Amino acid sequence: MQGIPFLGAIPTANWGTTEYLHFNNMKAEGLWDPKHGDRHSRLVIIGVNMNKPLIERKLKEALLTPTEDKALGGVKGWRLLPDGECSRARVLMCVHACIFHSIVPSSYPVQ
């Protein structure tokens, strides 16, 4: 089943009254980005007996520090890296550590 497309992905020439109303509401609420419109990504983690503070801490640890960001040259430097070079590896290591070593209750049979 396909959901409703992001409004920012629809040419404004194809917008009707409903789309303009939605756009104006999002803009008023600060939910409209001039470059990306209403497009965004969300990370959703679903589970039972998970350690929410630990998950949040581990995900924050996966973020670049200001020193690392500066060493890479900021956004311009990141854009020069091969697709996903650094960020994918850091996030995968973090998620693996969280899920398989810290979050899953010891009573859960990991297969």
Query: What is the block-wise mean pLDDT of the chain (111 residues), using blocks of 10 residues?
Result: 77 94 93 88 83 84 79 77 57 49 44 39
Instruction: Please tell me the predicted confidence (pLDDT) of residue 36.
Output: 87
Instruction: Please tell me the predicted confidence (pLDDT) of residue 12.
Output: 93
CB 56 within 8 A of CB 100: no
User: How do the domains of the chain map onto residue ranges?
Assistant: 1-40, 52-103
* Nearest partner of 54 among 97, 3, 5, judged by Cα: 97
Query: How many angstroms separate the Cα of 96 from the Cα of each of 34, 47, 88, 111?
Result: 35, 15, 12, 14
- DSSP annotation of 37 reads B
Instruction: Please tell me the predicted confidence (pLDDT) of residue 32.
Output: 92
* Nearest partner of 93 among 64, 59, 57, judged by Cα: 59
Instruction: Please tell me the predicted confidence (pLDDT) of residue 86.
Output: 53
SS3 category, 10:
coil
SS3 category, 33:
strand
Instruction: Please tell me the predicted confidence (pLDDT) of residue 41.
Output: 79
* Nearest partner of 87 among 59, 53, 67, judged by Cα: 59
Residues 6+ away with beta carbon under 8 Å from 27: none
Instruction: Please tell me the predicted confidence (pLDDT) of residue 109.
Output: 42
